[in-house]
Structure 1
Amino acid sequence: MKNKIKKSFAAILALAMLLSLAACGGKDKGSDGDGSDKTETIVLGKYTAVFKGYTLTKDDEGNDAMVLTYDYTNGSKDEQSFAWAFLFEATQAGEELGSPMYDENNNQITKNYEEKVKKGQTLEVAIALTLVNTTDDVIIVFSDFDDHEYTQTVKLSGSGVQDSGPEEAGSYQLYEMTFEGDVFDHDFLETSGFELYTMELAADGTGWLQIDGRGSLTWGDGKITIDGSDAVYTYTYKDGMIVLEESTGESMTFQKTGAAGTSGGLKPVGGDGSDANLTAYQQYWNGDWYGWTAYSNGTNDYSSLDGFYMDCMARIEIDENGEGALILWDEATSVDDPRAGVTVCISDGGFEQGRLKSEDGWFSDGDVGNADWLVDPDGLGYENLICIEGSYKDPDDFFSGYDYTIYLRPWGLDWADIEADQPDGLPDHYDWYLSAIQTGAKMPDVIGGDYGGLAPGEVPDSQMEPQGGNDPNASAVDGTWQAPVYGDYGLSKASATGVVPMTRDELVDRIGFYADSQIGSAPYDSLYNSMGYIHGKPLIDDPRWDTGKIHVYQWSIESGEYATLVFEVTDYSIGIEKLQSVETSPGLLDG
């Protein structure tokens, strides 16, 4: 069912996978007034709260305070209070705010907070917050018992009215969708594991849609246009829900999860277009990391781990709401079967870059729970170095386990500062790492593996497995095969020149054999072997080149004479390409 749904939105996928981060101008639908007609609608599950504004006052201890008013609507079948439906935490200037009951004159300033409301009914509710000051924004994170979350940013403008721009502006997550007349509701999408797409509509009429990649968009006047395409979608908005409709009648309904531009309270950064849609948290945490793991305090079966260490790699992905995942693998594991997989979130923690906190996951086969990992940026006093400390307990023997400390630095940065202070604080394969980053190589999937000359999407030879198959001519490329099979250079490599140390007669003999008798049957592997285990130069600019379908390679000798061979991909999954035609430099095969 999941695949069926994804396939149904192939057109939207194609558009959203335009990975453009550029912002385009759009029409601002906001009025020219002071914002008094602007509201913000907060939706958590079946409950809705419409923010009406705030007033400033003093609490019963004489501190500055604010009173926020909401129209609370219960959309569930049970009587529920605002207090039950909207759990909240509030911060200002990095400090958590308290919630007073009375003002300086001992008048109650909270209103109907715990009053139960029947299905379909609306009640005005007021909550109060003690302030740090009367200038900084107040960040309120609303949540419920089903892990829904919404972040509201209240700007203290002095007017007491929140100007949040057009009512549609905000952050959204997929709530339900239709396909061929069937409705796939929110419960189904959540329980089926279907990816809940996200969307951001900024107050200036720009935004993005995240579906297997982020596509920028413009919006306004009931229409959404994906940049770089001719597609225009109509939408309707009501009570925190926006319905995006295709001309075919299919639709996706998105639920608002935050106000425009708040991104969970994260700070937008960038200005050159490359990182304009990233937050300060994403700028610091997202990406590939390299380092090492030290083991200590092993007990029982793990006592031998004391003093043991291994190099490791990690990949961190944080979304605009400060939520994401970390995977980590080392010399004994792989990116496909990692040492650790942990869902994480980023909180302020008093740091501009935020603090990383574990939520749920595993290290080896032991649990990593909520706040088991608390990771500060620039740990141990070194810039761009993080330190993860944890403990492993054997699931079958509570008294057996060990402690581990993981030191990581973003791939591409040297460890010269640590080398100067603590020479024994370097990864074991640091020389290999240094050589790799000096060439500008991206992080490979294998520690100590091949990082040079690999095409995008390829994996290092050291990670490949022996190729199987029944074709006797399909001796594996480089004696290996790879998954995924192809990068942008087919079964060859970006660095391949195709120049072979042969005489003209030797080249004629080999190419002549394939041209005369092997068209339609010879695999690339056979040519690779016959040409002295040298890859053909991938002619990716040839108009016939179509990754995954047609590949064109060229082998040549020192004199400049060449043979160009065209292959058709007949089995993408295991890397079988069959020879379709042979072309040569003038006169090469005329004899």
Structure 2
Amino acid sequence: MKRGKKLLSVFVATFMVFSFAACGKENPASEKPESVEFDLGNYKIVYKDACIMEDYDGNDALVMTLDYTNNSGSSDSYLWSISENVMQNDVSLEFATIYLDESSFETVCDSQFTEVQNGETIEVKTAFILADTTSMVEVSFEESFGDATGKVITIDPSKLSRETPTAPSTKTTEKATTADAGDALLDFWNGDWYGWWVMTGCYGYYEGMGSMSWDICGTIDIGDDYTGTVVLWDEDYTRNDPMVEASVTLNEAGTGEYGTLMSESGNFTDIPLEHADWIVDPGLVDFPPGMIIIDGYYENGDDEYYYEIHLLPWGSSWDDLGEDFIPYSYYDWYLPLVEAGKPMPDSIDVGV
């Protein structure tokens, strides 16, 4: 899923770039061009090069390598400060998911989520699924929350080399460890969760299942670099064979005090999760305090539905929410475990 262009149009200065080196090495058919450097308000971008890689589904994807400098006066990330719109044949291209390691869901674009201190520079990659490998591509960059003049570069994918995924030079590939207590955001998100999920607008195989709900358990584990995982399972799955396994990022920005959680990659049942399929902001939930609601859309062939997942921390009381908002097995399964001081099980066995 791409990050969309802002609604307010801006005057853009266009840089025509007709030949580019591949990511990490030159295309033998052309000379490496000079880099394209520009300022977007409080941020400086240097376009370095581009290449073609295959995404997780075998699609050709344009992968651009940039240097990102934060001059905003406070820490910020490329993801939250820069907006991109990529066009080919007058159609917006979708964000591409290219794994460095499928077992950990690490992608070539993960450095976009790194919090960069004021005055510091990191290398980032950004990737979009190509419609073809011959038509010109226009890439526009804008400041996400400002009115600075945008910039456009034009790329000829036929001049690019094909490459295999490699991590940016400033990006560590080690999995983050869970942060120590004391960070209010991490204290809120990390831990075990319980609730229910529901389908609506069901078609195909799922037609007739609208408004049915199932109990669900899950664990959120986010490290001190604000990247981590969400694992969820309902009555038909287990912790070791989950319904959902998502790579996520956390940001302080949001309507409330607990920031915003965003999906980056992973799987929801049998379909992939992509960047920004989930944008979870607890500040948008009026009642009860501390609830998170994850919503999304499932589509696989003719089968489709919308879903909502309602979660509270394991051990929370749902008694004040009313019968229509209490998980189905709350009284028979959940409450006895909580009252006995039991930890969250690895499966939901409502027969217990």
Indicate the TM-score class for this superposition, using the shorter chain for normalisation: 0.5 to 0.7
Alignment of 1:359-374 (within 5 A): 359-374=264-279
Superposed counterparts of 1:161-310, under 5 Å: 196=174, 275-276=180-181, 278-310=182-214
Is this contact kept in 2: 1:281–1:322, CA < 8 A?
no
**Which residue in 2 is equivalent to 1:427?**
327
TM-score, normalising length: structure 2:
0.55
Check conservation: 2:108, 2:167, Cα contact below 8 A: no
Matched, 1:410 2:313: yes
Give 1:444 shift. Answer: 0.9
**Residues 41-120 of structure 1 mapped to structure 2, 5 A cutoff:** 98-99=41-42
Deviations 1:459-502 (A, max 9, x none): xxx7xxxxxxxxxxxxxxxxxxxxxxxxxxxxxxxxxxxxxxxx
Pair 77,336 (structure 1): closer, same or farther in 2 beyond 3 Å:
closer
Offset, 1:309: 1.0
SS in 1 for 2:289: coil
Count of equivalent residues: 230
Report what 1:390 is aligned to. 296
The residue that corresponds to 1:151 in the other structure is 115
Does residue 443 (structure 1) correspond to residue 344 (structure 2)? The answer is yes
Query: Structure 1's 146 and 290: CA in aligned 2 closer, same or farther, altered over 3 A?
Result: closer
Asked if 2 retains the 8 angstrom alpha-carbon contact of 1:81 and 1:114, the reply is no
Amino acid in the other structure paired with 1:98: G
CA distance in 1, matches of 2:33, 2:189: 39
CA contact (8 A) 1:81 1:115 kept: no
SS of 1:151's partner is: coil
- Shift of the 80–151 alpha-carbon distance from structure 1 to 2, 3 Å rule, reads farther
Q: Counterpart of 2:336 in structure 1: which amino acid? A: S
> Would the aligned equivalents of 2:198 and 2:309 in 1 still touch at CA under 8 Å?
yes
Relative contact order higher in (CA < 8 Å, ≥ 6 apart): 2
Residue 437 of structure 1 deviates from its aligned partner by 1.5
CA RMSD of aligned residues (A): 4.0
**Structure 1 residue 405, shift from structure 2 partner:** 1.0
Tell me the residue number matched to 2:140.
none
TM-superposed CA distance for 1:406, in Å, is 0.7
**Distance of aligned partners of 1:373 and 1:444 in 2 relative to their CA distance in 1, 3 Å threshold:** same
Q: 1:352 aligns with which of 239, 257, 265?
A: 257
Contact 2:250 2:260 in 1 (8 A): yes
Other-structure match for 2:304: 401
Query: Is 2:280 the counterpart of 1:375?
Result: yes
Q: Is the 8 A contact 1:189 1:196 kept in 2?
A: no
Structure 1 residue 337: Cα displacement: 1.4
Does residue 41 of structure 2 align to residue 138 of structure 1?
no
Counterpart secondary structure, 2:77: strand
CA deviation string 1:122-180 (max 9, x = no partner): xxx99795x6xxxxx5124358965435533339xxxxxx9xxxxxxxxxxxxxxxxxx
8 A Cα contact 2:258 2:283, kept in partner: no
State the one-letter code of the partner of 1:416: D
One-letter identity of the residue aligned with 1:408: L
Deviation at 1:378? 5.1
Choose 1 or 2 for highest CA Rg.
Answer: 1
1:392–1:403 Cα contact (<8 Å) kept: yes
The equivalences for 1:450-469 within 5 A come to none
Q: What is the SS of the residue equivalent to 1:138?
A: coil
Question: Percent identity between the aligned chains?
Answer: 29
TM-score, with structure 1 as normaliser: 0.34
